Amino acid sequence: MVVNKTASELQSLLHSRELSVKELTEATLQTIEEKDKTIQAFLTVTGPEALAAAEQLDNLPDDKRGSLFGMPIGIKDNIITKGIKTTCASKMLENFVPVYEGTATERVKDSGMVVVGKLNMDEFAMGSTTEHSAFQITRNPWNLDRVPGGSSGGSAAAVAAGEVLFSLGSDTGGSVRQPAAFCGVVGMKPTYGRVSRSGLVAFGSSLDQIGPITTTVEDNAMLLSAIAGADYRDASASEKPVPDFRNSLTGDIKGLKIAVPARYLGEGVDPEVREAVKKAIGVLESLGAHVDEVDLHYSRYAAPTYYVISSAEASSNLARFDGIRYGYHPADAKNLNEIYLRSRSEGFGEEVRKRVLYGTYALSAGHHEDLYERAQKVRTLIAQDFQNVFKEYDVIVGPTSATNAYKLGETIKDPLTLYANDLLTTPVNLAGIPAISVPCGFADGLPVGLQIIGNHFEEAMLYKVAHAYEQATEFHRQTPPAGKGN
Amino acid sequence: MSNFTKEDIQYYANFARIDMPDAEAEKYATRLDTLLEFSDRLKELDTTDVEPMTHPLAIVNVLREDTPEDILNRDEMLKSVEDHEDGLIKVPNILD
């Protein structure tokens, strides 16, 4: 079956015309129909649109075929797609159809990819299990009784289950890396500003980045090369030139200086996760890297800082949902205020309302200085912490998540457990630096992710290290048991 | 320790235009207490001379000519609007 092939195998079949884009798209849609009955990763499958795009691509001459020609991709449902429903997994946007295309998806299409559907997530990207979706529960392909992680849970699960080879997620506090780790796939959170946020429904505007999720590091590098770069529609998208990240996949990491923060392997990290990550660090050493332990003192302050800043930004960003111009509209509202109140109370789920409330509080007169401004100051300390380490080291390495995938319904009752996990991922967003998660073994039969963190705009370095590690191990070749559940 | 009363929650919920009946307000008071206690950890740090970080990258203003581009189609946009007339969005009376 064509869908079991790698991206480069598929590309050569397409280029030699042994396979057409239409055939590949049909096979992909068929696979999604079969596998998604249990995985439930897709909120919308865009069959007719995908087949129409495939036919157009098949007619393109060789010199017009993009770098990812014919490759099927799924898109997280908070990235807008023209003419295709974009819900943010919220009742608020249940019937919202965008009138323009987001920059990342526009570039995905320009590179020849075929968008096959929109993927489930925690509502408005707030959560780390995808259980906060207003519509469905996505399952972890490695064990159907486990969550896929979140908030980009659908994006990671669809790739892990072999429904698509590529997907886009978004990462505000770990939402690409943690689900990638839970599902045993590769997820990259690029430098803030590397990928345009135009078309990404805003959550925390100083933290959000769109990132690729794939089965291999090479595929990931290709997808980031395709979507990154300056954009006149997002002034925060960097003008820095975007390299072909594949050029950094040399396998050579001799003499590389790696820092391992003691805290990242400390209290709260599951022993099996710690063991897998220590082994991975051993592999990097055996490849010629030099490893030292360092102290990232302020990382324990990252999670509370993150919750203040992200909630404050969310309360402001989500003010646009007023039930007037688009989105959930309550029936028979008597006056304007009632439209506002009822659309926001009936349209937003509990987690979203909680964060909007917390953000509103943090920004209110009397608490702004003590809470929001203090968090902004601690953010400076957290960012400086990283800069001090990067003066001497090329990358920082640790686990992506403190545990393996949670049981469905398990941790949602205990937010502080979820928040403890945020120590590993949120500092990266606060500092605006890039980080990648690659599979590095198993804990209790479920995938573990190795997180590699770099300095601003050092994605090439991260791909180089991740690829060297991947090629030295077999974890990326392992696939989840189809449809198995306990 | 309880930081938030039911009335506090209703006060802030009104700013955010979120409807907050009494039973709900009590639930959210507990949740926000947890978050606020979590943030107390930040008070351990002396931040007196630290500059607040407002943005992850030191980027300067990006300017361009003010020429209209990417004009969105009004009819397309109005498809998502519940009630409109002659290209204008209709809302209920704002004065009772």
Chain B within 8 Å of A456 (Cβ-Cβ)? Answer: yes
Instruction: Tell me whether residues A193 and B93 touch, CB distance under 8 A.
Output: no
Phi first, then psi, for residue B38 (nearest 5°) are -60, -40
Annotated catalytic residue within A76, A91, A118, A189 = A76
Q: Residues B18, A353: contact at Cβ < 8 Å?
A: yes
Contacts of A97 in chain B (CB under 8 A): 79-80
Q: Using CB atoms, which residue from B16, B38, B72 is nearest to A100?
A: B72
Residue B93's pLDDT band (cuts 50, 70, 90): confident
> Across residues A350-357, what is the average pLDDT?
97
The pLDDT confidence band at residue A296, using thresholds 50, 70 and 90, is very high
How far, in Å, CA of A47 to CA of A25, rounded?
9
**Is A196 in the active site?**
no
Q: Is B67 on the interface with A (CB under 8 A)?
A: no
CB atoms A377 and B50 under 8 Å = yes
Residue of B9, B72, B94 lying closest to A335 (CB–CB): B94
- Asked if B16 and A344 come within 8 Å (Cβ–Cβ), the reply is yes
Helices B22-39 & B6-15 angle (0-180, nearest 10): 90
Q: What percent of chain A has pLDDT over 70?
A: 96
Question: What is the chain B residue with the closest CA to A233?
Answer: B70
- Distances in whole angstroms, Cα of residue A52 to Cα of each of A15, A22, A25, A46: 19, 8, 10, 10
Helix, strand and coil percent figures for chain B, each rounded to 5? 40, 5, 55
A21: left (phi over 0), alpha (psi -120 to 50) or beta: alpha
Interface of A with B in 394-433 (CB under 8 A): 415-416, 419, 430-432
Taking residue A98's Cβ as centre, other Cβ atoms within 10 Å add up to 23
pLDDT in tens, A116-162: 999 999 999 999 999 999 999 999 999 999 999 999 999 999 999 99
> B88 phi and psi, to 5 degrees?
-115, 145
Specify which residues A437 forms β-bridges with: A187, A451
ipTM: 0.94
Q: pLDDT over 90 for what percent of chain B?
A: 61
Distances (CA, A) of A55 to A6, A22, A472: 22, 6, 39
Helix, strand or coil, per DSSP, at residue A375: helix
Q: What is the pLDDT of residues B14-27, one digit of tens each?
A: 999 999 999 999 99
| CB contact B73 to A (< 8 Å) | yes
Which residues, 6 or more positions from B45, have their beta carbon under 8 angstroms from its beta carbon? Answer: A298, A301, A378, A381
Whether A320 contacts chain B with CB within 8 A: no
Measured distance CA(A155)–CA(A165) in Å, rounded: 10
Task: Inform me whether the C-beta atom of residue B32 falls under 8 Å from chain A C-beta atoms.
Answer: yes
Predicted local confidence at residue A212, as pLDDT: 98
Compare A421 and A407 and report the one with higher pLDDT.
A407
Q: A232 and B64: CB-CB below 8 Å?
A: yes
The band of A483, judged by pLDDT with boundaries at 50, 70 and 90, is very low
Window A:215-244, CB contacts with B under 8 Å: 232-233, 235-236, 238
Answer whether B56 sits within 8 Å of A415, measured CB to CB: no
The minimum CA-CA distance between B1 and chain A, rounded to whole Å, is 17
Residue B51 to residue A357, Cβ atoms within 8 A: no
Min Cα separation B62/chain A (Å): 6
Percentages (nearest 5) of helix, strand, coil residues in chain A:
45, 15, 40
Q: Decide if B89 contacts A327 (C-beta within 8 A).
A: no
Catalytic-role residue among A128, A155, A175, A437: A175
Q: What pLDDT is recorded for position A423?
A: 86
Task: Give the model confidence (pLDDT) of A358-399 as tens digits.
Answer: 999 999 998 999 999 999 999 999 999 999 999 999 999 999
Write down the mean pLDDT value for chain B: 90
The verdict on a CB contact (< 8 Å) between A354 and B52 is no
pLDDT computed for residue B92 by the predictor: 86
- pLDDT per position as a tens digit, A27-64: 999 999 999 999 999 999 999 999 999 999 999 999 99
A354 is annotated as an active-site residue = no
pLDDT at B63 over 90: no
Which of B30, B25, B23, B21 has its CA nearest to residue B8? B25
Confidence of residue B60 (pLDDT cuts 50, 70, 90): confident
A381 touches B at CB < 8 Å: yes
Q: What is the pLDDT of residues A231-244, one digit of tens each?
A: 999 999 999 999 99
- Give the mean pLDDT of A248-275: 93
A414: confidence class by pLDDT, cuts 50, 70, 90: low
pLDDT of residue A422: 76
List of chain B residues whose C-beta atoms are within 8 Å of the C-beta of residue A415: 31, 34
The arithmetic mean of pLDDT across residues A345-353, rounded, is: 97
Q: Using CA atoms, how far apart are residues B42 and A377, in angstroms rounded to an integer?
A: 10
| Residue keyed to tokens 């039969």 | A445
What does the pLDDT average to over A403-414?
79
Dihedral over alpha carbons A353, A356, A357, A358 (to 10 degrees): 120
Across the interface, do A341 and B19 touch by the CB < 8 Å criterion?
yes
d(CA A437, CA A187): 5
Do A381 and B77 count as a contact with CB atoms less than 8 A apart? no
Cβ within 8 Å, pair A364-B79: no
Q: Select from B62, B79, B91 the Cβ nearest to the Cβ of A339.
A: B91
Indicate if the pLDDT at residue A486 is higher than 70.
no
State phi, psi for A97 to the nearest 5 degrees: -115, 110
Mean pLDDT of chain A: 94
CB within 8 Å: B19 and A344:
yes
Contact of B92 with chain A, judged by CB distance below 8 Å, is answered with: yes
Q: Tokens standing for A255?
A: 């003499």
Which of A99, A304, A342 is facing B38, going by the closest CB pair? A304
Q: What is the pLDDT of residue A484?
A: 42
A286 given a catalytic annotation: no
Q: What's the predicted TM-score (pTM) here?
A: 0.96
Q: Which residues in chain A have their CB less than 8 angstroms from residue B40's CB?
A: 304
Catalytic site residue from A90, A128, A133, A151: A151
Three-class secondary structure of residue A437 per DSSP = strand
For the segment A171-216, what is each residue's pLDDT rounded down to a tens digit? 999 999 999 999 999 999 999 999 999 999 999 999 999 999 999 9
Which comes out higher in pLDDT, residue A160 or A475?
A160
